[in-house]
Every structure is written in C-alpha cells, then in structure tokens.
Structure 1
Amino acid sequence: MTEPGSGSARGLYTISVAAELAGIAPQSLRSYEERGLVAPARTDGGTRMYSDDDIARLRRVAELAAQGVNLAGIGRILDLEDENTRLRGDSSAAGRE
C-alpha cells in the first residue's frame, strides 16, 4: 500500500486522460465510480483526478470485463484482491516483529 501523497496514490489525471490511459470510455469511468469500483480524488471544484493506482485498477476492471465478468462480479473480485493484499501486508509486518 502506498502513502497518501505518493506518486501512485495522488490524483494526477483528469477523466479524459485517465480514460485514454486505461483504454476505457469516460462514461464507463463515471459508471465504475457510481458502482464503487474506483474512487478518484476530487478537486475543490469537483473535478475527478485519477491516480496511477486508479489507472491500474481501471485496467484490471477492463481485463475482467473482457473475460465476461459482470460489474457485480468485478466488484467482488476487486474486494477479495484488496483483502488478500491487505492480509499479505499484515502477515509480512507480523513476521518482522
């Protein structure tokens, strides 16, 4: 996991740039946000700002969608992958104590 403000977690890209980088239509990005699949940062004016982590997550969403997984399934898979990553991090930290 990255620290807040680090390059990979900081919002760097507007929706049009993020869509191009992820290979996904901007409307799909909005839909994915509504479904809770991605949560870009927002400027004070409300502009979505996507991070490198968000772009990687969007690419994963696109990969799963291309395999025929529906949005509910994609959400569950992402939740399980996040939990797995968190548990591995907790396990590594416990081993150093």
Structure 2
Amino acid sequence: MLGQKDELFPSNRRPTIAVTVLGDMKGLGVITQEAHKEVGSYAALNKVDYLYTTGELAMMISQAALEQGMSPDNVIHFERLIRKPIIEWPIRKRSSTSLMC
C-alpha cells in the first residue's frame, strides 16, 4: 500500500544506529489507521533502533512497532513537538509529552 516506505527505511544504507522520526500522516481518509499501523510494523521489522513519533495519529505507528517486538525503551512517542537542535534529542528517554527538537 505505501509504495514509498522503502525510502523511509533504506536498508542498503543502514547507519550504525537507525533513528526514525515520524509524525501524523493526514489526509489518508479511510486508510488512516491501516497506514499508520503498517508504517509502525515496517519500522520494527526493518530493525529501526529508535523510533520517535509525534502527533495523535502517529501513536498508532508506535503501538504497531511495539506489537511487532520493538523494545519499549526504543519507542518514544511525544504529544507535541518543540524545536531544538537534533543533537540534544533524548536517545534513551522512556516517555514524555514533548519532543525537544
């Protein structure tokens, strides 16, 4: 269904630590839930080390990744996004209500 998801998780160019940051995918209509869950499952099955999500809909991405076996320590969901340099992002923070980025 999501033909471009391989571009989000390029396995042939995997860095030492794979960090993926995803947000709400709006405007999907009737496939909204299915699409968010599919992306979360895909992230988990493609060995993303850390998954950060932000937004109400993106919570489904995190939940699907956890259901596919990602460690709860490596799946972090934030309700809102606050701008801050990426170098200061929390790597092992278990949960929060705001992502500082």
TM bracket, shorter-chain basis: under 0.3
Structure-1-length-normalised TM-score: 0.27
The answer to which structure has the higher helix fraction is 1
Higher relative contact order (CA 8 A, sep 6+): 1
